[in-house]
Structure 1
Amino acid sequence: MGRCEDARIRLLCFHYAGGSASMFRDWQRLLPHSVEPVAVQLPGRADRFGEAPYTSMTALVDRLVEVLKPALDHPFACYGASMGARVSWALAHALRDRCLPMPRKLYVASSSGPVLEEVVRGWNETDEQLVAYMRELGGTPPEVLDDNDLLMALLPALRADLTVLGTHAYAPSAKLDVPIHAFAGRDDFEASPARMAPWRAETSATFDLDVLDTGHFLDDNGLRHVLDVIGSDLA
């Protein structure tokens, strides 16, 4: 997304495992003009398909700090969906450790609280088991699941993303002093409201949890609520 010079605050957006920055393609239009969404595209997908995806949270976050430094010259917040929530959280800790500017707020969706240290499924399983997991989660179009060639092309990035999560056992020494607003789907078996409530333990600032009538992947109503909250907060 292009820079919006009159924006008062940037919103760094991190996609879910196996996803891409295209999930944020309409956010510039749907958010107030004073909020500039900056969609982060991880390697191994879409226009970065030819690049090797990261399999380590430490390596990924180190690279993100390097790449995003120019965008930190302006007030910013972070939004992360599923894997993206954990990436934005790890990034905030890395920024603090390096005495770099910190986000004004973290918005996390569809991701269990880090303190739970839940087992991540899929990353060390067979292709068949990983595809079954995709079907169980929902969110992947049937035409993709039924196209074996396309599916096999997508699996490496998804497996790499899940490996980032499955091998990350970071236990920070101190909480973030950053407000966190969490969004949980009532029907999300991966990151239920009860599993998202422990995000409260990750901040010494304020914490809010909104429960939405959706599953792991936000439906249109859930997305509209998330955008309304972010827009109201940051505008």
Structure 2
Amino acid sequence: MDEFRWLKGLGRREDAGIMLLCFHYAGGSVSMFRNWAHLLPPSIEPVAVQLPGRADRFMETPHTSMTTLVDELIEVLEPILDRPFACFGASMGARVSRALAHALRDRQLPLPRKLYVSSSTAPVLEEVVRGWNESDEELVAYMRELGGTPREVFDDDDLLSALLPILRADLTVLATHAYHPSPPLNVPVHAFAGRDDIEASPSLMAPWSEETVAGFHLDVLDTGHFLNEVGLQRVIDVISRDLG
């Protein structure tokens, strides 16, 4: 049953040659990937990872530690790692996918064929994580600054009060996960940076190159922190080309 809580199939594809694990941004859910099965070719099966505390897992306590998050996730993933897979992570999801890859290597388990990361400052820079230990008012101001949150969320006190603890917990996962230098992964990394992203600009994403010895590419997109339609299409095109 843990598999069904954590992993959300977006369209089962028995003949797919590779699984794409998709990790959402802080405060988000698997809904950001709801159209990916229609956008990707049949040879790729997208599977979205739903973290506790949101959507159908809203009764569960969200994680505040990267270590416990990844440990639980590996328990769920290990039985299905006999098939080829890659990872895509947006913002927080990029850091989760990196931590997962390192933990898999430490346990001598199969590694992803490729890491795709978007809207996330390179870990080696050890940038300060904003919002996690600030007041609700400051956290809301941070959300407005980043953009991407629908206006109706800010206009609905109940929606906003439900979202803030989840977002704060997710940001705590990032803020309390200290960077420890370790050998780069033997996994190619493709990074996507928004030209207008105030949180993870292209220059702040470029040092993701230090995470791999297997090849790195940085795509600069005409978007902000959250992918617009054109940016999303570029991500889909790259993944389809690489894995399809």
Aligned residues of 2:117 and 2:189 also touching (Cα < 8 A)? yes
Say if 2:116 and 2:190, in contact at 8 Å, map to a contact too.
yes
Q: Give the aligned partner of residue 234 of structure 2.
A: 225
- Map Cα deviations across residues 195-233 of structure 1 (whole Å, 9 max, x no partner): 000000010110000000000000000000000000110
| 1:169 and 2:181 correspond | no
Partner residue of 1:124? 133
Q: Is the 8 A contact 2:119 2:225 kept in 1?
A: yes
| Helix, strand or coil at the partner of 1:73 | coil
The answer for the alignment partner of 2:158 in structure 1 is: 149
* Deviation of 1:146 (Å): 1.1
CA RMSD in angstroms comes to 0.7
Q: How does 1:140-219 map to 2 (within 5 A)?
A: 140-219=149-228
Work out the number of aligned pairs and report it.
Answer: 235
SS of 1:4's equivalent? coil
Partner of 1:31: 40
Whole-Å Cα distance in 1 between the matches of residues 209 and 236 of structure 2?
21
Distance 1:139 1:74 in 2: 34
Q: Distance in 1 between matches of 2:12 and 2:105?
A: 25
Pair 1:57-2:66 in alignment: yes
Q: Which amino acid aligns with 1:234?
A: L
Write out per-residue CA displacement over residues 169-216 of structure 1, whole angstroms, 9 at most, x where no aligned residue.
031421101000000000001000000000000101100000000000
In structure 1, how many angstroms separate the alpha carbons of the residues matched to 2:13 and 2:149? 32
Aligned to 2:6: none
Q: Distance in 2 between matches of 1:172 and 1:90?
A: 12
Is the deviation greater in 184-193 or in 65-74? 65-74
Q: Stretches of 4+ moved more than 6 A in 1?
A: none
1:133 aligns with 2:158: no
- Sequence identity, in percent? 76
Shift of 1:4: 1.5
What SS does the aligned partner of 2:149 have?
A: coil
1:39 Cα deviation (Å)? Answer: 0.3
Q: Give the Cα separation in 2 of the matches to 1:136 and 1:145.
A: 13
Gaps of 5+ in 2: 1-8
Q: Which amino acid aligns with 2:238?
A: V
Q: TM-score, normalised by structure 2?
A: 0.95
Q: Distance in 2 between matches of 1:141 and 1:23?
A: 13
Q: In 2, distance between residues paired with 1:194 and 1:63?
A: 33
3-state SS of 1:78 partner: strand
1:47-88 deviations in Å (ceiling 9; x for gaps) = 000000000000101011111112212100000000000000
Partner of 2:20: 11
Cα distance between partner residues in 1 of 2:201 and 2:132: 21
Separation in 1, partners of 2:201, 2:80: 33
Partner deviation per Cα, 1:12-59 (whole Å, 9 max, x = no partner): 000000000010011011000000000000000000000000000001
TM value normalised by structure 1: 0.99
Letter aligned with residue 191 of structure 1: A
Q: Which amino acid aligns with 2:13?
A: C
